[in-house]
């Protein structure tokens, strides 16, 4: 029987983002998000993203490999949250400040099969998909110097924000750097100046080598054992999937390149192949444990912006996967403190125990 954990864990990269890990029963008033109804059909006559319905989408931006027999297709978003149609100047009035909602919002149809899940896609396809992310990010950065960040993300399931069942990702290019990316960039730069190491590389090293027993000061009882590989979910030749020690979400997993790399745009062909393998296996583990859980994933990479130019050594790109297994409570929204009711050590153990081919 496991000892209940109740402690506030500080995110090592962004210390202002802490999480309350509380596994005792009383800490579980949270409602569970229902698994997304899984639409496993491969073709749906009325779906605008399905093959044969290309005329139903906004204009195509790119497709892989060729337009007619595409496997991945990028189109403009029908209801963009940011766009380039308006040219309003920025506005400041008293405490009200606005930045023109200039930007791009695009949809990437991940696969021509309607209801295919990420872990069911072949590794060559996943390599193609991540390659398409890279190409499109690069093109957007090049297209306009006002764009300071290109965010690639995926929503799966209605609670995770997906409004169309056909598997797809989104690309949003904005004139501002998102706060959470900026916090990671600034904090890792400060860490680098002090320690001359990339904090993400240090976390990977720690995950691979650390072994310790932490005792309670008063009772002398073991409070926590940290074992080699305890937080490692999946390890490839070039990528690693880690369960963060201060995970905000119960089943959150991060994937990082093992060798230091700040900018996702630098990813090589060999990298893509290994990323595809680590990604497929990680998603298969999550699916086996959570069965169709709604989730988001998003890419955090070095912004293409003057203020981030000196961060190539200190920032380390990564993919954050955040399954939505509970609904945030008033306590979480009011305090900004995330509550995680599954000990990250336990979650990691369950994910690692899944047998996959």
Q: How far is the CB of 154 from Zn ion (least distance, A)?
A: 15
Whose Cβ is closer to Zn ion: residue 22's or residue 73's? Answer: 73
Considering the rule CB under 5 A, would residue 298 count as an interface residue with Zn ion?
A: no
- Dmax (CA) for the chain in angstroms is 70
**Beta pairing class for 6-10 and 168-174:** unpaired
The answer to whether 141 and 304 are in contact (CB under 8 A) is: yes
Helix, strand, or coil (residue 169): strand
Considering the rule CB under 5 A, would residue 198 count as an interface residue with Zn ion?
A: yes
Helix, strand, or coil (residue 44): coil
Q: Which two tokens stand for residue 195?
A: 């320690």
Stretch that binds Zn ion, among 48-56, 71-79, 264-272, 283-291 (CB under 5 A): 48-56
Give the footprint of Zn ion on residues 327-356 (CB under 5 A).
Answer: none
Q: Which two tokens stand for residue 87?
A: 């040219």
Q: How far is the CB of 221 from Zn ion (least distance, A)?
A: 35
Considering the rule CB under 5 A, would residue 300 count as an interface residue with Zn ion?
A: yes
Position among 73, 104, 105, 114 found at the interface with Zn ion (CB under 5 A) = 114
Stretch that binds Zn ion, among 62-70, 87-95, 139-147, 197-205 (CB under 5 A): 197-205
Nearest Cα residue to 314 out of 177, 148, 179, 190? 190
Q: Which two tokens stand for residue 146?
A: 């006002």
Alpha carbons 271 and 258: distance in angstroms, whole number = 10
Whose Cβ is closer to Zn ion: residue 201's or residue 354's? Answer: 201
Task: Pick left, alpha or beta for residue 45 (phi over 0 → left; psi -120 to 50 → alpha; otherwise beta).
Answer: alpha
Q: How far is the CB of 298 from Zn ion (least distance, A)?
A: 8
Q: Is the dihedral of CA 86, 61, 161, 17 positive or negative?
A: negative
Q: How far is the CB of 241 from Zn ion (least distance, A)?
A: 14
Position among 70, 141, 200, 245 found at the interface with Zn ion (CB under 5 A) = 200
Whose Cβ is closer to Zn ion: residue 47's or residue 162's? Answer: 47
Whose Cβ is closer to Zn ion: residue 22's or residue 170's? Answer: 170
Position among 47, 137, 151, 255 found at the interface with Zn ion (CB under 5 A) = 47
The label of the residue with tokens 């000061």 reads 217
Whose Cβ is closer to Zn ion: residue 132's or residue 256's? Answer: 256
Alpha carbons 92 and 22: distance in angstroms, whole number = 44
Considering the rule CB under 5 A, would residue 156 count as an interface residue with Zn ion?
A: no
Q: Measured between alpha carbons, how far is residue 187 from residues 14, 17, 182, 184 in Å?
A: 6, 12, 8, 5
Position among 316, 325, 342, 348 found at the interface with Zn ion (CB under 5 A) = 316
Position among 5, 19, 33, 49 found at the interface with Zn ion (CB under 5 A) = 49
Position among 104, 166, 243, 281 found at the interface with Zn ion (CB under 5 A) = 166
How many helices (H) and strands (E) in the chain? 6, 17
Considering the rule CB under 5 A, would residue 203 count as an interface residue with Zn ion?
A: no
Considering the rule CB under 5 A, would residue 315 count as an interface residue with Zn ion?
A: no
Alpha carbons 32 and 292: distance in angstroms, whole number = 13
| Site residues for Zn ion per CB under 5 A | 44, 47, 49-50, 114, 166, 198, 200-201, 260, 300, 316
């Amino acid at each position: 029987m496991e000892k209940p954990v109740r402690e506030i864990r500080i995110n090592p990269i962004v210390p202002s983002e802490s999480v309350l890990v509380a596994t005792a029963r009383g800490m579980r008033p949270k409602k569970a998000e229902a698994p997304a109804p899984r639409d496993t059909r491969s073709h749906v006559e009325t779906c605008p993203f399905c093959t044969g319905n290309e005329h139903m989408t906004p204009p195509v931006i790119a497709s892989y490999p060729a337009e007619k027999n595409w496997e991945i297709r990028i189109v403009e978003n029908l209801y963009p949250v940011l766009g380039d149609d308006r040219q309003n100047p920025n506005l400041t009035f008293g405490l009200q400040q606005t930045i023109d909602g200039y930007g791009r919002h695009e949809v990437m149809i991940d696969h021509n099969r309607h209801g295919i899940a990420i872990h069911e896609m072949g590794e060559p396809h996943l390599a193609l998909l991540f390659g398409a992310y890279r190409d499109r990010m690069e093109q957007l950065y090049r297209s306009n110097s006002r764009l300071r960040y290109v965010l690639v993300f995926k929503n799966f399931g209605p609670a995770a924000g997906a409004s169309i069942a056909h598997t797809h990702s989104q690309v949003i290019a904005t004139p501002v750097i998102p706060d959470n990316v900026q916090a990671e960039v600034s904090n890792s730069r400060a860490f680098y100046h002090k320690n001359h190491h990339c904090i993400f590389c240090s976390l990977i090293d720690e995950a691979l080598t650390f072994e310790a027993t932490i005792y309670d000061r008063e009772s002398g009882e073991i409070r926590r054992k940290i074992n080699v590989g305890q937080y490692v979910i999946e390890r490839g030749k070039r990528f690693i999937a880690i369960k963060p020690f201060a995970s905000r979400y119960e089943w959150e997993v991060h994937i990082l390149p093992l060798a230091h790399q700040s900018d996702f745009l630098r990813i090589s062909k060999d990298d893509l192949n290994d990323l595809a393998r680590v990604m497929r296996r990680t998603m298969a583990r999550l699916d086996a444990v959570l069965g169709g859980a709604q989730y988001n994933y998003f890419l955090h990479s070095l912004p293409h912006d003057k203020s981030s130019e000196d961060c190539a050594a200190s920032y380390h790109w990564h993919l954050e996967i955040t399954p939505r297994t509970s609904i945030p409570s008033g306590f979480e929204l009011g305090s900004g403190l995330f509550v995680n009711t599954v000990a990250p050590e336990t979650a990691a153990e369950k994910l690692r125990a899944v047998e996959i081919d």
